[in-house]
Structure 1
Amino acid sequence: MSTIEESIDVDVPVHVAYNQWTQFKTFPRFMDGVRRVDHFQASFTHWAVRFGGRTYRFDAEIVEQVPDQHLSWEALDRPRHRGTVSFRSLDAERCRVTLRIDLPSKGLLERAGSALGIARRHVGRSLKCFKEFIEGQGRETGTWRGEITKGRVRPGSGQKRPEVPTWPTG
């Protein structure tokens, strides 16, 4: 298993950075290579990502989520990976966002990407773009303050689980 971990300090309060990170549909606006993210249940997302000249589509399960602290996921399809994004308050107006991705080191693409540092640069760029996006906005575009532990979802106070969209057929 190959691990990539990068951090960035962001000039917004921790709850603003966390709230924005829970708005998966906005990821294509700041995350390098992400084409689309559908959040079809509180703990499941579907991704379309372009990396290394190829487009990958995969489902991911959010396995743990604690507001203003962290969110952990595991990809259910190839490319298999898991990760955690954590949030730590530095003071009332700043926080540190740390993104950790664990990639299997057995596949050729994964080995080549790790050797060249492509994946590490990708993570670093994504964090920088997140910083620019959220600082430029000055506030989050939405919130979801629920918690997820071992697949059990507890919506935040006054919130419902994300609605399940109707998927196009064909």
Structure 2
Amino acid sequence: MSASLVETVDIQAPVSVTWALWSDVTRWPSFLSHVRLVEPLDERRFAWQLSLPGADKNFVAELTEVIPGERIAWHTTQGVHHAGVVTFHRLDDTSSRVTLQIEYDPKGFVERLGALTNLDSALANYDLGEFQKLAETAAAS
């Protein structure tokens, strides 16, 4: 059984800013609360360290699609199964909409509990809020 979540946030920052922040995977731990480390292995593959309640997870993810200024998609090739895509939409010259969609396999009690209680949705919402703060600060400076 796979679970999925979709979260969207409108940001007072142009797509160029939101794209630049998100496309630098080494910045992900600064706004994804459960990601401890993302290490590039080569141009398309990244080693992730996640810190979750009661469990640390390591996995390798591969970028499956990168369209500059529009979308970044990835899926895992080792470790926990999940796939995600983040899309960037221009609202006007100074604002953009970022949508995060993740599909995952809720293996183990902690993840199943999260899927059941919509903890994942709350976490994704929080993470997008952190990203929004980062992007709006960058756009203002």
TM-score of the superposition, structure 2-length normalised? 0.91
Give how far 1:79 is off. Answer: 1.7
Give how far 1:107 is off. Answer: 4.4
Equivalences, count: 140
C-alpha separation between the residues in 2 aligned to 1:93 and 1:135?
Answer: 10
Does the 8 Å CA contact 1:16/1:139 hold for their aligned counterparts? Answer: no
**Bigger Cα displacement from structure 2, 85-94 vs 39-48:** 39-48
Structure 2: gaps (5+ residues): none
Does the 8 Å CA contact 2:36/2:50 hold for their aligned counterparts? Answer: yes
Mark the structure with the bigger radius of gyration. 1
Provide the residue aligned with 1:117 in structure 2: 118
**2:39 equivalent to 1:55:** no
Provide the residue aligned with 1:18 in structure 2: 19
Query: Residue by residue, what CA displacement relative to the aligned partner does 1:116-155 show, whole Å, maximum 9, x if unpaired?
Result: 1111111111100000011112279xxxxxxxxxxxxxxx
C-alpha separation between the residues in 1 aligned to 2:123 and 2:5?
Answer: 10
| Alpha-carbon spacing, 1:106–1:46, altered in 2? closer, same or farther (3 Å) | closer
Could you say which structure has the higher helix fraction? 2
Structure 1: gaps (5+ residues): 141-170
C-alpha separation between the residues in 2 aligned to 1:105 and 1:131?
Answer: 27
Give how far 1:33 is off. Answer: 1.5
Does the 8 Å CA contact 1:75/1:82 hold for their aligned counterparts? Answer: yes
C-alpha separation between the residues in 2 aligned to 1:55 and 1:22?
Answer: 24
| Alpha-carbon spacing, 1:106–1:30, altered in 2? closer, same or farther (3 Å) | closer
Does the 8 Å CA contact 1:103/1:110 hold for their aligned counterparts? Answer: no
Task: Please give the residue correspondences for 1:5-44 in structure 2 after superposition, counting only pairs within 5 Å.
Answer: 5-44=6-45
Identity of aligned residues (%): 27
TM-score of the superposition, structure 1-length normalised? 0.77
**Bigger Cα displacement from structure 2, 127-136 vs 102-111:** 102-111
Give how far 1:111 is off. Answer: 2.1
